[in-house]
Structure 1
Amino acid sequence: MSQSEIAHLLGVSQSAYNKWEADQARPNSDNIVKLADLHEIDIYDLIGERAFIQNNTDTANGNIQGNVTINHSIPENIIDTFLKNQEDISKLLEIQSKLIETLLKK
């Protein structure tokens, strides 16, 4: 895909996307997520390093316990926005689960 095609899919200008590729600017966290989705890759693979290291993952129950280590080479505003988005997603998933349970009872 061309830069203009990718920029169009992301809803940004071609010049903004070009600056990301040329390392003259950085996309915001929303655009990082969109880029990862577009290229069907993990967000951590896109940014080139692990922002979070999670310990004691209980995959059977989907729980993460223990400490989270933040790699401070990633700008703090991106980390804050990412964490806020994750909280919002968790709340939406909880609401969705309750709605599904209600619909199944009918």
Structure 2
Amino acid sequence: MSIGTRVKQYREAKNWSQEDLAIRLDTTQTTISNIESDKNIPNSLLLKKIADELEVNLNDLYDDKITNISNIEKNDGVVNTGSGTVNMQSPELLEAILKNQEQIAKLMEAQSKLIESLLKK
């Protein structure tokens, strides 16, 4: 089952419209529609926000299988990438990814403000 399908299931279980979820996430209904129809896959930061709003575990939203990634074998939650082994169910890994995404978002915001100030000059 895809991430989009799971988001839709959990949203509907709360009797929320796409617009309701979009407002809670400070995004658009179109964004939610695109996620639910698998046209877009949310980044890890947005996916964490979705999980928080829907009151589900982040892992509950992930697809059952890894797709479109070459040279990866998945066994019992461990992925062999050819250059090492990673436990994909590691809470530490997920937290590190989320912190990284938050830092990226802050840097992008700072960059946008800098560009805006330069354009005003």
TM-score, normalised via structure 1 length: 0.50
